[in-house]
Structure 1
Amino acid sequence: MSYQHTPQSSNLLEVLEKILDKGVVIAGDIKISLADVDLLTIKIRLLVASVDKAKEIGMDWWETDPYYSTKSKRITREHEHIDLMEKVNRLEQLVEKQALMQQLSLPEKVPADQGKGSVDEQKLESNE
């Protein structure tokens, strides 16, 4: 069974090829108003282009969106891990700094019976 292109289908293919090669932007706004008060505004922007053309103009959201890309999910997890490690390091530094400040600001504690001597020594001193 052979497949033959009709002039109409070949024209359609040519148009589709040009659209994908060059790209087409369709833009429109829908506004719903009541008594000159905008209740709802919908902005519609549609770009029809090949993947190569989209990348060329800087539209590669499918590569960075975790919903569409496993590579993006891995990168997102790595960034989250790095962020968490930085937070842990900052918290550890803060705890160490606070502990050091407490050591420097508090006088060294002396046990109650040290420095005054034992009870027997205190009696001897008071009797003398």
Structure 2
Amino acid sequence: MTTASRLPEPYGQGSGANLADILERVLDKGVVIAGDIRINLLDIELLTIKLRLIVASVDKAKEMGIDWWEEDPALSSRARRRELTRENAELRRRLEELEPAGERKER
């Protein structure tokens, strides 16, 4: 007697973990992928590329000491305001050096 072969179940059916569970675990624990690419010609290093990828939640990244996005003006409005304030103060200082106080026009 022969039995029909059983086909594998589609993803998401009958499995203990769905995509949301897996993503939650990855973000909670964090995943690091690291690799180096090195190109040599006759024992002379021509190019080295170091790749590092970290996948984690913001809280987990901060816990690991990674918070570079908070200081990047392109990613943080607070950092952008700090950068503009610093730039404005520098421009005012340079303007004062160029215009003596008596020659400055009232605005």
TM-score, normalisation: structure 2: 0.65
| 2:46 paired residue among 34, 39, 43 | 39
Give the distance between the partners of 2:22 and 2:46, measured in 1 at CA.
39
Equivalent position amino acid for 1:17 in 2: E
TM-score, normalisation: structure 1: 0.56
Give the distance between the partners of 2:60 and 2:14, measured in 1 at CA.
27
The structure in which a higher percent of residues are helix is: 1
> Are 2:89 and 1:72 equivalent residues in the alignment?
no
Match of 2:104 in 1: none
Paired residues for 1:16-55 under 5 Å: 16-55=23-62
Equivalent position amino acid for 2:29 in 1: K
Q: What is the CA-CA distance between 1:84 and the residue it aligns to?
A: 3.6
Give the distance between the partners of 1:9 and 1:68, measured in 2 at CA.
37
Q: What is the CA-CA distance between 1:88 and the residue it aligns to?
A: 5.7
Q: Which runs of 5+ in 2 are unaligned?
A: 1-11, 101-107
Change (3 A) 1:7 1:53: farther
- CA-based RMSD of the aligned residues comes to 2.6
Q: Which runs of 5+ in 1 are unaligned?
A: 96-128
Change (3 A) 1:24 1:85: same
Identity %: 51
Q: What is the CA-CA distance between 1:87 and the residue it aligns to?
A: 5.1
- More relative contact order, 1 or 2 (CA 8 Å, 6+ apart): 2
> Are 2:88 and 1:81 equivalent residues in the alignment?
yes
Q: Which secondary structure does the structure 2 equivalent of 1:10 belong to?
A: coil
Give the distance between the partners of 1:9 and 1:87, measured in 2 at CA.
65
